[in-house]
A and B are shown apart, each in its own frame.
Chain A
């Protein structure tokens, strides 16, 4: 794959960010039910490493909409992790595999965000207190992590095949 961003890549990035934002807003009333994971996986399978650029753009839009806070730091390392994982396993075509990957990612989302929470709120000499607060923060979010896991798993299970079909078609048309 070419290392430079082509016009097609830029168009894909635009599509990805627009889809992620639209789906996020449309599903905002359901806590932790999201299509962001699905789209990031799908665009990674389509674009490879170049999909990493989607994250900072989407985070910049989110930050300008909701105001930046510690979640910006979390997003900037948690979402790229999903892209790295997806790219590593890109040759896999089993629906259940992708549903599981997405589900595990949802389940560990809170745990993955906790280090940033701890580091952000720690002060000199109070690292232990921040660690305890971080643990409590993660535990308090577990029900949402479980919802996230089940949501991600089900969404990927249902949508992987049709979207892969559409993506493949997109690739054929654009060549």
Chain B
């Protein structure tokens, strides 16, 4: 076989191989709707434990709720704040809030502030501690029962028995 033709065929093989490799890389690292880094998984594990304890209470609550039809809109939730030093403060909130923001307003002792964006409020300060990504290289992450939250506080629905965690996370 002529050398040139052989080189071109090798090139063609490399081309196909690279396409396959690219697709494998894509499958390994493709974007996921709920990204979980090691740190997040740790928190998720911690919070699953909390959530399990809660489920027991939950069942009890539900039975109570069945007895009391008026309690339809009343939700018992827990809001946890984990600051930069890892200290966790819990707030038990009984609320009829539809979204998390109202429940946060009702939580006694919890303060927060932020800036408004097209997705609702972007939380920047919680209990006096600031985490602005561009300034502090850290942010306030939201978890629902240990799962990474998909909504901002203005659109995160509040469900009876859920635990909402607000966690100070430093970017790597």
Contact = CB atoms under 8 A, between A and B. Distances in A.
Interface of A: 94, 96-97, 100, 103-104, 107, 123, 125-126, 128-129, 132, 135-136, 139-140, 142-143, 145-146, 149-150, 153
B65 interface: no
B39 interface: no
A107 B18 contact: yes
Interface of A (DSSP majority class):
helix
A140 B11 CA distance: 26
Contacts of A126: 134, 137, 171
Interface stretch (B22-30, B42-50, B72-80, B151-159): B22-30
Contacts of B19: 107, 146, 149-150
Interface residues of B, number: 18
B128 interface: no
Given A123-B134, A140-B31, A100 B23 contact: no
21 contacts: A94-B4, A94-B8, A96-B12, A97-B8, A97-B11, A100-B15, A103-B15, A104-B15, A107-B18, A107-B19, A126-B137, A136-B31, A139-B26, A140-B31, A142-B22, A142-B26, A143-B23, A146-B23, A149-B19, A150-B19, A153-B15
Nearest to B31: A140
B15 A136 contact: no
A142 B22 CA distance: 7
A153 B29 CA distance: 26
B69 interface: no
B87 interface: no
A126 B12 CA distance: 40
Contact of B172 (A128, A135, A136, A139): A128
Contacts of B4: 94
